[in-house]
Amino acid sequence: MNILDKITLDKRKEVELRKSLIPVSQLEYSVLFERQTVSLSNKLRNSKSGIIAEHKRRSPSKSIINNGLNVQDVAIGYENAGVCGMSVLTDGKYFGGSLDDLLTARASCKLPLLRKEFIIDEYQILEAKAYGADVILLIAAILTREEIKQFSEFAKSLNLDVLLEVHNEEELQKSIMPSLDMLGVNNRNLKTFEVSLQTSKSLSTLIPNDFVKVSESGISNIDAIKELQPFGYQGFLIGENFMKTDNPGASATEFIKTLEG
């Protein structure tokens, strides 16, 4: 059983528990449920840098990245840096995140927020909306084509953008459908944890131009972005690079200045 299978198994139990504690009607009555969402895909299309900066305390591959920062400071710092959007990890067991992190980020900035989560149930999409997200992540490796269709169409009905993540050609082929906004290529091999930008390069020609192409994992320097831009990538998800510093906002500011300069 690889790490993704393990996480998914735990996630099913967690979602069942959450559903028993907070009914759907309560989520739909949340103050943020009626909020006008901001499209991340539009922002990426019109940006020179395309940076989606992440709030991430730890990960299964790297253990602790940074436990000492509060989400509010990180969100404000990222917004001031001029990033296109912010990704907020809400998984507790493996990444040390929570839905409260999403809520805090929402109260702290006007950026499009991505709920970075292992979505296996429509309930989590309602949670995303209720806690102030603008975008959800769907991971092709843990979903069937039918689920991708069901979840992405449901998200669109709530005015949420959909970023679908793939790791290889097989996942990409089963996933392409009109209810997606962005196709993300994860450069990390989930079995070995090795990272290679070649994954993004080789899959780029197979992604139709209707979708915003996003590259994820292993983007730690300007060169990586410069290398991927000619392949049509307009979005770059950067997690650990900013979070492992004492001031992610300042780190992102410096990065974007150099990139756009």
For 205-256, the pLDDT digits (tens) are 999 999 999 999 989 999 999 999 999 999 999 988 999 999 999 999 999 9
Give 117's pLDDT tier (boundaries 50, 70, 90): very high
Cα-flanking dihedrals φ and ψ of residue 92, to 5°? Answer: -85, -50
pLDDT at residue 163 is higher than 90: yes
204 as an active site residue: the answer is no
Of 49, 59, 152, 217, catalytic? 217
Of 54, 79, 117, 127, catalytic? 54
**For position 62, what pLDDT does the model report?**
75
54 as an active site residue: the answer is yes
**For position 130, what pLDDT does the model report?**
98
Of 11, 43, 56, 129, catalytic? 56
16 as an active site residue: the answer is no
pTM over 0.85? The answer is: yes
CA distance 139 to 163: 9
48 as an active site residue: the answer is no
174 as an active site residue: the answer is no
**For position 132, what pLDDT does the model report?**
98
Helices 3-21/122-130 angle, 10° precision:
70
pLDDT at residue 159 is higher than 90: yes
pLDDT at residue 23 is higher than 90: yes
Of 117, 127, 216, 240, catalytic? 216
